[in-house]
Amino acid sequence: MTGYDKNGNILSLQCYGQTSASVYGLITLTGNLLNRVDDTATTSAYNNGFEFKDGVKQANEYNYDSNGNLTKDLNKGITNISYNCLNLPSVVTFSDGSTITYTY
């Protein structure tokens, strides 16, 4: 179940995991952009196989550029995402130093 305000901004989100309902708390400090997810799910039936992994407990787990593009996702270990002039991702850099490069 998802709740929105009159402007279409996310107010709340409830997702269902493998064993029980899990609630993700959304903090939208910059409008409609996600800043943090807190996972309150119980242990997965699949031993951490498919569910969301709450990797960090920080106030800003996600960052965005001035165009609203995601530039950092600490829960996935993404330290930087660079975009081209069309706002398409060009390079994704991970905390271990590995990268993914996209060519269009």
pLDDT tens, residue by residue, 33-42: 666 666 655 5
Please answer whether residues 68 and 33 qualify as being in contact, where contact means their C-beta atoms are separated by less than 8 angstroms.
yes
Residue with tokens 């493998």: 18
In sequence order, the β-bridge partners of residue 80 are 93
3-class state of residue 75 by DSSP: helix
Query: 71 pLDDT exceeds 70?
Result: yes
Report the 10 Å Cβ neighbour count for 42. Answer: 12
When pLDDT is averaged across residues 14-26 and rounded to a whole number, the result is 48
pLDDT tens, residue by residue, 41-56? 555 555 655 555 666 6
- CA–CA distance, 43 with 47 (Å, rounded to integer): 7
pTM: 0.62
